[in-house]
Amino acid sequence: MKASRMRRLAALGIGALCVAGSIHTADATPAAEPLRLTLPPPTGSHAVGTVSLHLVDPSRHDPTATPNAPRELMISLWYPTGHTSGYPVAPWLPAGAATRFLADNDLTPGQVRVPLTHGHEGAPVDRHEGRLPIVVYSPGHGSVRSANTVVVEELASRGYLVVTIDHTYDAEVVEFPDGHVVRGLPDGMVADPARTRVADTRFVLDQLRLLDNGGNPDAERRRLPDGLRGSLDLCRVGMFGVSAGGSATANTMFEDRRISAGLSMDGPMFGPVVTGGLDRPFLLMDANRTSRKLLPDQQTFWSNLRGWRLNTGLPGAAHVSYGDEELLVPQIAPLLNWSQEEMDKQIGTLRPERVEAVQRAYPPAFFDLHLRHQGHLLDGPSRRYPEVTFIP
């Protein structure tokens, strides 16, 4: 695979596995054992449970599917659990999606395997701390709901229920329970994808109320984790997203007051929220691409924030640094014989372990402050995280 294609995929926030495709050539000898990519475990006091749900929205027709077919989504719930025995951990991508994803890059599961997560499928919800505050996650354009598993698992291990969304036809690959895989469509083939993301998120919020009341919105009516009913605190809902998911966060907040606090990780701002503004807390975590000092819409959005606001920077970070790719790419770099310069182009110049520390610290601190009213990390620059700058 050519480097230009690797960089294009990396810009989508899903390039780690695609980059692995560079080790495969017609003359290459397959390794005896496939490369299993790994992600570090979360640091919170709870083990993590997870379950996937297939949702169907009959109120919306999906123009890119069969005529008059309803909009279909896959989501995952991630939450604290106290019982993991007998509950296997979920893969980073389900088997069909992983196989298709690798095949797109001339690879097979016998050469590279996606990571295993630390989320135990179907494990019961830990109810010892009462109702769980909720955080919704929207991935970047062309990315998948698993692309920020490190942050998602960290939040779940600290007592949050996190909902991750695959925006069908925007996400690179989405696998449904019957095994069929839906591919992402090229830019321009999905009408108004930004509006679609907002509508997807608002529909998911509706389903969370149904879940909390004991309903089962899963299209196949698969078994839900024990303890889920009555475990969601629908009065404490936050949202975050990366890249296009950051803009989706802001625009969903603009239309739906159920979301109390929003966080954008290196997301360019566009849509009605830019001039309309928000009156609830919002955190901009910039890397190098979306500095509001360089983008007029970003500055206009900032000036129209009427609630608590903070803009942090991470000099030396790349656009993909706020995702799992920051940790996955270094694992395959030795196989690619990359120079340090090539690594810097992919994931920035910061040490991955330091970027991981920032990922684990700042999103939980933001939601702790505004959904739990605790913590002081965001009061100002921290000696523990000297890489993070506060932008006035």
Band of residue 7 on the pLDDT scale cut at 50, 70, 90: very low
The listed range with the strongest mean pLDDT (189-203, 253-267, 276-290) is 253-267
Q: How far is CA 344 from the centre of its chain?
A: 23
Q: State the amino acid at position 67 in one-letter form.
A: P
| pTM metric for this prediction | 0.91
Residue 253 within a domain: yes
Q: Are 148 and 185 in contact (CB under 8 A)?
A: no
Find the CATH number of the domain harbouring 193: 3.40.50.1820
Among 130-134, 273-277, 340-344, where is mean pLDDT lowest? 340-344
Q: Which residue has the higher pLDDT, 98 or 379?
A: 379
- The pLDDT of residue 111: 78
Q: How much is the pLDDT for 61?
A: 84
pLDDT band at residue 32, thresholds of 50, 70 and 90? low
Q: How far apart are CA 365 and CA 139, in angstroms?
A: 20
- C-alpha–C-alpha distance, residues 278 and 161, integer Å: 24
Instruction: Please give the single-letter amino acid code of residue 269.
Output: M
Closest CA to 250 of 237, 264, 238: 264
Q: In this predicted structure, what is the pLDDT of residue 109?
A: 78
**Cα–Cα distance between 100 and 181 in angstroms, integer?**
8
Of the pLDDT bands very low, low, confident and very high (cuts 50, 70, 90), residue 102 is confident
Single-letter residue type at 29: T
Range of the domain at 11: 3-25+35-390
pLDDT of residue 89: 98
- pLDDT tier at 107, thresholds 50, 70, 90: low
Q: Does residue 25 surpass a pLDDT of 80?
A: no
Tokens of 190: 């999905």
User: Measured at the alpha carbon of residue 114, what is the angle toward residues 343 and 106, in degrees to the nearest 5?
Assistant: 75
- The pLDDT score that the predictor gives to residue 291 is 75
pLDDT greater than 90 at residue 29: no
Burial class (CB within 10 angstroms; exposed 0-12, middle 13-18, buried 19+) of 160: buried
- Strands (E) located in the chain: 35-36, 47-61, 70-81, 89-91, 112-113, 116-121, 132-138, 161-166, 173-175, 181-183, 232-242, 261-265, 282-285, 309-313, 389-390
pLDDT (0 to 100) of residue 278: 98
Q: Which residue has the tokens 């291990």?
A: 157
Work out the end-to-end distance of the chain between its first and last CA atoms, rounded to an integer number of angstroms: 42
Q: Quote the CA–CA distance of 15 and 5 in Å, as a whole number.
A: 9
The Cα 163–Cα 77 span in angstroms is 5
DSSP secondary-structure letter at 322?
G
Taking 90 as the threshold, does the pLDDT of residue 155 lie above it?
Answer: yes
Is there a domain that residue 30 lies in?
A: no
Tell whether the model's pLDDT for residue 116 goes beyond 50. yes
Provide the greatest CA pair distance for the chain: 60
Calculate the average pLDDT of the chain: 88
Cα–Cα nearest to 93, from 328, 264, 320: 328
CA 331 – CA 83 distance, rounded (Å): 31
Higher pLDDT, 112 or 138: 138
Radius of gyration of the chain from Cα atoms?
Answer: 20
Q: Evaluate if residue 166 carries a pLDDT over 90.
A: yes
Number of domains in the chain: 1
Query: For residue 378, is it within any domain?
Result: yes
Tens digits of per-residue pLDDT, 204-226? 999 999 999 999 999 999 999 99
